[in-house]
Amino acid sequence: MLERILADVRSLMQKCGAVAEVMGDLEMGDFPSPQSNAAYGTTEAALIQANGDPACDLLYTANFMLMALHEAAAACPDSDAAELEERLCHFICRIQVNSTDQPYLNGAWLRGFDWELWDYYGSAADSGWGAWCVESGWTCSWISATLALRQLKSSLWDSYPANWLKPCLPELLNELKINI
């Protein structure tokens, strides 16, 4: 299962380390891109309008993906999760805000990033989430926590007792079989 997920990440990862946003079935999501002019800007929406747009989402995707790749690399060192984590990490570090003009943004990561224009990105269709928006709880905290774990050469798994998962494993395995 991990190899299937890593293959998907690899297929979406750009040369610069950004991970392209993609939309699946619009009926399955809560906030798709607007499908009409009347729907434009009326609710939270996908960062991209269509698959292929050069945008990396740091609110809902790249931040969580960095932690997930870090944990996958720790749990499965024989996979290429560590290489994908490294590429995404370097990208995220390069796009961290460094501003003396707007010191309240300095050190943060903004909502999205356009890797072709190499600039911060927001969609006017995404009501409430402009290009200069920061979600300190979802974006900055996940990225910072992963960077700290990398620095400590540790993972979330290391903070749990050795057999903590054993009592839960049968139920988890059963659940995974249902969802596969």
The model's pTM: 0.87
- The distance of Cα 83 from the centroid of its chain, to the nearest Å, equals 16
| 53 residue type, one letter | D
On whether the CB atoms of residues 57 and 126 are closer than 8 A, the answer is no
* Full domain range(s) for residue 89: 2-179
Block residue for tokens 């700290």: 148
Other beta carbons within 10 angstroms of residue 84's beta carbon come to 22
What is the pLDDT at residue 180?
40
What is the pLDDT at residue 109?
95
Domain count, the chain: 1
Which is nearest to 115 in space by CA: 14, 23, 27, 8?
A: 14
Which is nearest to 113 in space by CA: 34, 49, 18?
A: 18
What is the pLDDT at residue 89?
98
d(CA 119, CA 55): 10
Per-residue confidence of the chain (180 residues) as pLDDT tens digits?
899 999 999 999 999 999 999 988 888 878 888 888 898 888 888 889 899 999 999 999 999 999 999 999 999 999 999 999 999 999 999 999 999 999 999 999 999 999 999 999 888 888 888 778 888 888 999 999 999 999 999 999 888 887 888 888 888 888 887 554
What is the pLDDT at residue 178?
58
